[in-house]
Amino acid sequence: MNLISAPWLPFLTREGATVYRPPCAVADPEVVDLSLPRADFQGAAYQFLLGLIQTALPPQDHGEWLDRFIEPPSLEELEGAFKPFKDAFELEGDGPRFMQDMDPLDDVKEATVSGLLIDAPGANGIKNNTDFFVKRGRAEAMCEDCAALALFTMQINAPAGGAGIRVGLRGGGPLTTLVLPEAADASLWSRLWLNVLTSKALTRSGQTWQAPRSDDESLFLWMAQTRVSDKKGTEVLPDDMHPLHPYWSMPRRFRLLFEDGSCHCDICGRETTHAVRRIRAKKQGANYDGPWLHPLTPYRRDPKKPNEPPLSTKGQPGGLGYQHWPNLVLHDPDTSGALPAGVVQDFAKKVMLVDEERRAGEDLSALLKHARLWAFGYDMDNMKPRGWYSVEMPLVAVPPAQQERLRDWVQRFTELARQVAWMVRTQVKNAWFARPSEAKGDMSHIDQQFYDATQSAFYQALLGLQQALQSPEPTAHMPSGVAERWFRTLRRQALAQFETQALSGALEAMDLQRATAAHRQLLNFLGGHSKGSKVIRQFAADGGFALKQPAAEAVANKEGMS
């Protein structure tokens, strides 16, 4: 099967039907999304198509990018652009195989195809019978379509796996962030093209852009003998590879073993006559090292150690929320060390370009004016997946001259929320325990509930900040109304959260004196009256509003405590 020409990807049409077609179907305006049977496959399929488009049709500049944005290619044109790369996308055969070892690995013991799934129990889990929640035997057979995507998903997300089992180019379990149009009926092409970068944006300092070729082993590692990493000096470094290589990284050595015969795919549920039940895997694949930056992944650097390579942002317990928004969106290498994904940093430039074309008389859609950020990835504990996260957040763009101000304001908003969440958790512990400092156990759920309750208000505030900075005469100070509404929301939710956690339950099980004292400390903090509430007073001063509680709110809170 050739992954360029075969109808192997399930696409979702405007009518809600799922149809299997080749990758060039992304140019069909009736195709609005992908429809994969697993969440990690859905994210990987987006990255596969992005890599393919980026490789076959890279725009030379933003003007060329905008031309494709206004007028997408036809099916025939896109098929023609993909065709020169067909040799690198053969999944089976005697020659090079897509993302597989050139060596057939005949000396390696065969394993089940489930080894391609990141969430499948490992050998130790099966041996020790510890596969309590993710059971063995869930994927004993895959159709060739699902096997191809399972292989790609593993290669681009490869987690730690023990000595000699190499980790992916972005580190194990990286987050991916994509820019999506707000319009629900947007075509798949516009969803993908928003994340396509110019050749210049992809080229590192000191690199020279070379036109991609299917036989270029610096682009597609599987087109040549394996770069075995059993010795020092065999590391794969960014300066030695094609600028497009991050889309096609290949840290693991695999061979898929195909067999004919009627079979039921355990992933998609379809019947097939050509399946994969067994694979071969070997250690010492490509060992990625150095300052790699994947264009679809956010990174963090230590501002105090500028010479150290940045680290990719990973999924964390508790999921992703608005408290993570600044590091995913706002470029801040010198203070917080945040390095958003290249496609996110490029978004503001595209918005400016569309605005300029509008002024020149172009009749363009407002697609770029309202966009979302899609962040997804595994939360890994070494080689063990703890969960999969996929969230969408608003994505705002402001003029370049206002970027610094937006970052400053947003960081003040999120820092205020963090401090209030911490105080709520602290006072709930004070209400629960006679010796709260000695209390054991994970209480992060208190913070998470607070963030969940205030998420909608944050995104409303974010749009308010954007409007203030997009006005003809943007203010140098935080918009007072937006700042005060945010503080009042945090205050209201903090008190509600405290009452829910500390004052609910059987009366005989609670210490009302402790609870009342903790409630008083929380009120003093929120009112700016305690030593630790400097952040409250400073935010009110910066926002230009008074901390004094409105009378109606004060009465409501008093009644709630009675």
Mean pLDDT lowest for which of 109-123, 134-148, 324-338, 503-517? 503-517
Within a domain: residue 208? yes
Mean pLDDT of 473-486: 89
Shared domain for 406 and 538, answered yes or no, is yes
Q: Does residue 396 belong to any structural domain of this protein?
A: no
User: Predicted confidence band at 204 (pLDDT cuts at 50, 70, 90)?
Assistant: confident
Mean pLDDT (the chain, rounded) = 89
What domain range includes position 62? 9-351
CB-based contact 143:268 (threshold 8 Å): yes
**555 assigned to some structural domain:** yes
The predicted-structure confidence for 212-238, as pLDDT tens digits, reads as follows 999 999 999 999 999 999 888 899 999
Tell whether the model's pLDDT for residue 560 goes beyond 90: no
Cα–Cα distance between 372 and 217 in angstroms, integer? 35
Whether 327 is covered by a domain: the verdict is yes
Is 288 in a helix, a strand, or coil?
A: strand
- CA-to-CA distance for 126 and 304, rounded, in angstroms? 44
From 323, 351, 379, give the residue that closes a domain: 351
For the chain, the domain total comes to 2
What pLDDT, on the 0 to 100 scale, is given for residue 366? 52
Residue 366 lies in a domain: no
More confident residue, 363 or 64: 64
What average pLDDT does this structure show over 309-316? 90
Residue in the block written with tokens 């999921």: 319
pLDDT of the residue at 509: 53
Q: Are residues 457 and 533 in the same domain?
A: yes
In this structure, are 337 and 419 located in the same domain? no
* Rounded (10°) angle between helices 512-526 and 480-502: 170
Residues 252 and 317 occupy one common structural domain:
yes
Give the span between the Cα atoms of 524 and 156, in whole angstroms: 50
What predicted TM-score, i.e. pTM, was given to this entire model? 0.90
Looking at the fold, whether 206 and 336 belong to one and the same domain comes out as: yes
Q: Are residues 92 and 209 in the same domain?
A: yes
What's the pLDDT tens digit per position in 454-471? 999 999 999 999 989 888
**What pLDDT, in 10s, does the model give residues 106-150?**
999 999 999 999 988 654 444 444 333 344 457 899 999 999 999
133 and 72 assigned to the same domain: yes
**pLDDT for 555 beyond 50:** no
Asked if residue 113 lies in contact with residue 278, where contact means CB atoms within 8 angstroms, the answer is yes
Tokens of 249: 């990284």
Whether the predicted pLDDT of 349 surpasses 60: yes
Same domain for 344 and 432, yes or no, is no
Q: Which two tokens stand for residue 119?
A: 């969430």
Which of 351, 380, 413 represents a domain boundary (last residue)?
A: 351
